[in-house]
Amino acid sequence: MVEEQVRMRPKAIDGEGETLIARIMATVRHRIAGRSLTPGAKLPSIRSFAVTMKVSKSTVVEAYERLAAEGLIRSRPGSGFFVAAPLAPLSLADIGPRLDRAVDPLWISRQALEPGEGVLRPGCGWLPPSWMPEEGLRRTLRGLARGASSTLVDYGPPLGLLPLRQLLARRLAQHGIEAPPDQIMLTESGTQAIDLLCRFLLKPGDAVIVDDPCYFNFHALLRAHQAKIVAVPYTPSGPDIDRFAAALEEHRPRLYITNSALHNPTGAMLSPLVAHRLLKLAEQWRLTIVEDDIFADFEETPAPRLAAFDGLERVVHIGSFSKSLSAAVRCGFITAPRDWIEALTDLKIATSFGGAGFSAELVLTLLKDGSYRKHMETVRQDLARAMAATVARLGESGIIPWIEPRAGMFLWCRLPDGIDAADLARKALDKGIVLAPGNVFSHAQTAGSFLRFNVAQSQDERLFGELAALMAAARR
């Protein structure tokens, strides 16, 4: 394999020559900007690119040399031309296709996170402050204010607070997941847990399966890792298993990231049958599954956990207390195969140093004193009531749930008459209402007529009045 070393240069370039050179240069720039050519990648050989672009080799040579003079590419004598390292910073927008800002996954996160008086947030992914165990948190803080000084000022140990890991091990055992405390590592959040796993397992360009629809931040996170997202349609009992098998065969993905108990955004639950088939496929294709179970304590009747069937061989189990206890107290965890924990701990220290001992102590106290259990009982009852009420009120505007979930806070709803959800969300924002349009959750952009409602955030009468008006206007 000998790389051609073309050294000829045209003596003079006419107008048409300039046009052709400009076209070649634009094509290369476009490929670099669109990241089909990434930094360090080899450019097409002069000969083959001349054939592809239907120009002479000397035109390609001239275009390459001008791009090299600009610093965009560089030549390595004897091996050809390569994309130079980026000088301008990459942003997420450069990494993935930039969607319309109203259906951008990060847009909805930021809208939900931005404070704003009187803004209604039915599209938000968590409970309103008034639903959280405020009194328990205040009491625990007063207790910690009197507690050990190390909790107040020291870094936590590398794996995280041992008594909390012991308690988590017992809680996981109730779901059939056998994880000793030394196979559990505390993190700052469920998101940090998944991020660490992606750092550990993925290289840029690796394929990762997600559900379609799925939690929108999976898209943002995977884009940040430059992973290739492969979306498999989700059914009321889990991923479409035939499509899943086909995706494995076609893309050889490294990972599958999902919620098995209460699926976000649909509220569906994985059936034992689908779980079993999924694990057989995972074994056959040596696929790792990340089971993001942050809504575990919202379920009424236990759904199967992939980690329980699998015994933590190919399944990594993630949890957190941001949704059930407090989003201000950051504490998540990873339960992973034994021989991964050491390297994951090194990676956590390298990228965020010590863990949050204080948050862990706070969670531990609330879990131990029984107030967390009582709080979640109340939340589940209140959610069931809010679910029924929201289904009824949305129905008045013709907004119908895809399924009626058995638990949780989410309702995945279809809009009638092909009304565009992103358009509705933009108009709702003008009225001070943050909706979550379906395509934010859909990599394949097949959920343009869906909205996700958080029933706990849909308790204000104004919401339904405004929605009815917006729907009526959209129908006209």
Q: Which of residues 306-335 bind a copy of itself (CB under 8 A)?
A: 322, 326-330
Do 83 and 91 contact (CB within 8 A), yes or no? no
CB proximity list for 385: less than 8 A, separation 6 or greater? none
Nearest Cα residue to 320 out of 160, 135, 439, 212: 160
Nearer to a copy of itself (CB atom), residue 100 or residue 346: 346
Partner residues linked to 454 by β-bridges? 410
Contacts with a copy of itself by CB under 8 A: the residue count is 86
**C-beta of 280: minimal distance to a copy of itself in Å?**
17
Measured CA to CA, the distance from residue 389 to residue 464 in angstroms comes to: 11
The verdict on 150 binding a copy of itself (CB under 8 A) reads yes
Measured CA to CA, the distance from residue 325 to residue 321 in angstroms comes to: 5
Do 86 and 37 contact (CB within 8 A), yes or no? no
Nearer to a copy of itself (CB atom), residue 160 or residue 239: 160
- Kindly identify the residues of this chain, within the stretch 193-252, that bind a copy of itself according to CB under 8 A: 195, 199-201, 203-206, 217, 220-221, 223-224, 252
Among 350, 417, 418, 461, binds a copy of itself (CB under 8 A): 350
Nearer to a copy of itself (CB atom), residue 217 or residue 397: 217
Measured CA to CA, the distance from residue 288 to residue 208 in angstroms comes to: 10
Nearer to a copy of itself (CB atom), residue 47 or residue 385: 47
Measured CA to CA, the distance from residue 440 to residue 422 in angstroms comes to: 9
Choose the binding region for a copy of itself from 62-70, 122-130, 274-282, 396-404 (rule: CB under 8 A): 122-130
Measured CA to CA, the distance from residue 407 to residue 64 in angstroms comes to: 59
Measured CA to CA, the distance from residue 446 to residue 440 in angstroms comes to: 10
Q: Tell me, what amino acid is at 385?
A: R
Nearest Cα residue to 210 out of 219, 202, 220: 219
Structure tokens at 282: 């995972």
**C-beta of 470: minimal distance to a copy of itself in Å?**
26
The verdict on 340 binding a copy of itself (CB under 8 A) reads yes
Among 26, 33, 349, 473, binds a copy of itself (CB under 8 A): 349
Nearer to a copy of itself (CB atom), residue 155 or residue 475: 155
Among 145, 174, 430, 476, binds a copy of itself (CB under 8 A): 145
The verdict on 31 binding a copy of itself (CB under 8 A) reads no
Choose the binding region for a copy of itself from 38-46, 173-181, 276-284, 386-394 (rule: CB under 8 A): 38-46
The CA R_g of the chain, rounded to the nearest whole Å, is 26
Burial of 87 (0-12, 13-18, 19+ CB in 10 A): exposed
Measured CA to CA, the distance from residue 285 to residue 250 in angstroms comes to: 11
Among 357, 401, 405, 438, binds a copy of itself (CB under 8 A): 357
The verdict on 39 binding a copy of itself (CB under 8 A) reads yes
**C-beta of 173: minimal distance to a copy of itself in Å?**
25
Binding mask 435-474 for a copy of itself (x = CB under 8 A): ----------------------------------------
Measured CA to CA, the distance from residue 113 to residue 109 in angstroms comes to: 6
Alpha carbon distances (Å) from 92 to 109, 126, 215, 220, 447: 14, 24, 17, 8, 22
Nearer to a copy of itself (CB atom), residue 138 or residue 374: 138
Nearer to a copy of itself (CB atom), residue 109 or residue 271: 109
Measured CA to CA, the distance from residue 223 to residue 106 in angstroms comes to: 11
- Kindly identify the residues of this chain, within the stretch 4-23, that bind a copy of itself according to CB under 8 A: none
**C-beta of 341: minimal distance to a copy of itself in Å?**
11
- Kindly identify the residues of this chain, within the stretch 40-69, that bind a copy of itself according to CB under 8 A: 40, 45, 47-48
- Kindly identify the residues of this chain, within the stretch 380-419, that bind a copy of itself according to CB under 8 A: none
The verdict on 346 binding a copy of itself (CB under 8 A) reads yes
**C-beta of 215: minimal distance to a copy of itself in Å?**
11
**DSSP, res 433:** B
